[in-house]
Amino acid sequence: MKDGHPVKASITNLVTNKTITFMFNPTEYSFSKQVNWSTARERGANVPKLEFEGGQPAQLTLRLFFDTFETGEDVREKYTNALWELAMVSRQKTDPATNRGRPPECSFQWGKVWTFKAVVTNLTQNFTMFLEDGTPTRATMDLTLKQVEDMDRFPAQNPTSGGVAGYRTRVVRQGETLDLIAAEEYGEASQWRYIATVNGIDDPRRLVSGAVLSLPPLPTR
């Protein structure tokens, strides 16, 4: 949160360096990760030994919402076309010798918590409101991103489910304070400083009702 306002999530096209700042932050998102194990042949054993083969890239799935009805602008031109470009072959990523190309890499970021460098693997766009001439002014977009490199600040993985262990979000309610939230979420009111840091909150006294706070696990002491 900065200057009393929630920090906006964004995606940056790493080829054009164009950043798409979301109109509304996601209300939720999910991670998944597959880990490959092979079964070793072992005669007479009830449970054969497992051999680790390697991990698969993590996937981030989120739903986005865009609305330009009040201004009458085309929601595609204002927001969603730039996201659609992340699923299209980039001219800068095309080999002139073979004329083969690929879509650009991108980076998802929300506040100071972490950055997820990825490629788009699935994109579904639904238009739900239109002007009289058919111009779409409201859209939802389901987006799936696949990780392309490890992240130093990526939260620890849950080895049984592949999800992010203990990673939560919380919507600020009227009258709540950071120390109260820290006490409820972490059991220590003093952890309000950690919440402020990971969410980019400059002034903890100006907490806005309805803001979404990221609540990652506490660092290992």
What's the rounded mean pLDDT across residues 12-26?
86
- Whether residue 156 is found in the same domain as residue 189: no
pLDDT higher at 3 or 12: 12
Query: What is the model's pLDDT at position 88?
Result: 93
> What integer best gives the mean pLDDT of the chain?
81
> Domain of 216?
166-221
Collapsing DSSP to helix, strand or coil, 39 comes out as strand
Task: CATH number of the domain at 136, please.
Answer: 2.40.30
For 85-140, what is the HEC assignment?
HHHCCCHHHCECCCCECCCCCEEEECCCCCEEEEEEEEEEEEEEEECCCCCEEEEE
Domain membership of residue 46 (yes or no) is no
Q: Which two tokens stand for residue 76?
A: 């595609």
Other residues' Cβ atoms within 10 Å of the Cβ of residue 92:
9
- Please state the pTM of the whole predicted model: 0.62
Residues 122-144, mean pLDDT to the nearest whole number: 95
Average pLDDT on 135-143 reads 94
- More confident of the two residues 92 and 19: 19
pLDDT band of residue 155 (cuts 50, 70, 90) is very low
157/171 same-domain check: no
